[in-house]
Structure 1
Amino acid sequence: MSPILYYGVPSGCSFGSIVALEWSGQPYRLARVNMPEDMQTELFARINPVRETPALQTARGDCLAESMAIFNHIGAGQGALDAGISFKQGTREFDELNRMLAFLNTTFFGAFSSLWWQLEHEADDETKRVLTEYGRARVVRAHQELERMLGDQPWLLGDRRTLADAYFIGIARWTKYHDVVDRRDYPNLQRLFDKLEADPAVIFAHAIEQQRPATSVGRFEGEVGIAESLASRRAA
């Protein structure tokens, strides 16, 4: 049974996991999760009790949540190792990849949290102003740090693309929702963003999210519904 990635729309951070699966060359399926309505159902709670995306039903039928865990699961597969987007645990390269994934998951992803909250919830003008200013400071700092870490390297970890670049592109696009930073002020990040946006796997992930005709460059086996995915899990 091929794994099933539960990806959130619109613009979930699970976008990066789609890119990673495309790059890995392993067979997989996708299950679309409309946020927040699908996440609040008891059906989805059986997949992830925290009711968040992404989630991954593994080939064994287990359900795995949290982006870092999913990226490490994908990265442990032989396809990802052969593709050079991950490294064997215990190596220095693996530690560096984990460090970068952790930074993206905490500092970079987390910087947007107050901005998302004030966008998605009712609040008075003063509360929104405070949350926006707080978020702006965090997003600016995160971009400054990542700009410094990237430097003039072609990819986040050097000469080759890795799972970290896949995770980055799923989060970096959030600046279009929040007018608090201009990525052009960070030329290294803008260069990486533009290169990734032209990548066929990223183009595929955009098409999947937007429900347009999508051409996989990996081993995508089609989409399934949430209920159908649970039925296949029972069969496994």
Structure 2
Amino acid sequence: MESILFYGIPHGCSFGSIVALEWSNLPYRLARIDMLTKPAGYDRLYPTTQTPALLTEDGEMLGESLAVLNHIAARDLGKKLGFAQGTRSFDRVNEALAFLHTEVHGAFGPVWSTFKLAVDAATKDMLRAYGRDNVAHVLGKLDSRLAGRDWMVGEHRTVADAYLVGIVRWAEDLQLFRLERDYPNLHRLVARLEQDPAVIFAHAIEAGEPAVTSGRFLGHVAIEDLAQRHAA
């Protein structure tokens, strides 16, 4: 069977996995997860209820962005979204993914928590200011890393670029920074990625709008149907 990606809305980091699947040209389906309400039955499929999660072709559930992205890249190394394990290029992509996940993604945590925690306005302001400082620091490092580079790693796009475009957008979504003004090297890469058909497709999918695949997207599946099938 084809793989099924469980992606989160609103504005989940699973955006990058959608982009990577489009780039891979592997057949796949999508399952939509509202991260604020968590659809009934998802916990039976994936107990942590986080996204992304990938139901692989052999029926195994695989979670966490790094694992999902590396899995997609490894399915067809000829696409050069990743590299063979044990090579220097693989190490560099893995290093980039780890940096994006632990430092960049993690820096936004305090700001996102202001939408989830039942705390007073002063505490929310403190969390937002603390998070903004963290984000400024890591985006500065990322911007420096991208000076003179066209991509995160090497001379062509990889799953690291797919992941990047899905998480650095939070800087503007959360009204923390303007990439064009504050981080020009990062903005240059993001602006190019935003013109990519796979990225345009992923935005439309998240928004629930008509989306034109440039890969082999086969449609959405309902969580309820998958949960019933799993229970059987």
TM normalised by structure 1 equals 0.93
Kept in 1: contact 2:7–2:53 (CA 8 A) = yes
Q: CA deviation at 1:228?
A: 2.1
Give, in whole Å, the separation in 2 of the partners of 1:232 and 1:218: 27
Question: 2:2 aligned with 1:5, yes or no?
Answer: no
Matches within 5 A, 1:1-236: 1-38=1-38, 41=40, 43-78=41-76, 81-184=77-180, 185-230=182-227
3-state SS in 2 of match to 1:157: coil
3-state SS in 2 of match to 1:213: coil
Kept in 2: contact 1:24–1:85 (CA 8 A) = yes
Kept in 2: contact 1:12–1:53 (CA 8 A) = yes
Give, in whole Å, the separation in 1 of the partners of 2:45 and 2:208: 23
Give, in whole Å, the separation in 2 of the partners of 1:6 and 1:172: 21
Structure 2 residue runs of 5 or longer lacking an equivalent are none
Does 225-234 or 117-126 show the bigger shift? 225-234
3-state SS in 2 of match to 1:56: strand
Give, in whole Å, the separation in 1 of the partners of 2:227 and 2:59: 9
Amino acid corresponding to residue 91 of structure 1 in structure 2:
T
Kept in 2: contact 1:150–1:157 (CA 8 A) = no
Q: CA deviation at 1:197?
A: 0.6
Kept in 2: contact 1:31–1:229 (CA 8 A) = no
| Count of residue pairs brought into register by the alignment | 231
Kept in 1: contact 2:111–2:128 (CA 8 A) = yes
Kept in 2: contact 1:4–1:229 (CA 8 A) = no
Structure 1 residue runs of 5 or longer lacking an equivalent are none
Give, in whole Å, the separation in 1 of the partners of 2:157 and 2:46: 30
Runs of 4 or more off by more than 4 Å in structure 1? 231-235
Matched-pair identity in %: 48
3-state SS in 1 of match to 2:177: coil
Amino acid corresponding to residue 204 of structure 1 in structure 2:
F
Aligned-pair RMSD on alpha carbons?
1.5
TM normalised by structure 2 equals 0.95
Amino acid corresponding to residue 110 of structure 1 in structure 2:
G
Q: CA deviation at 1:232?
A: 5.5
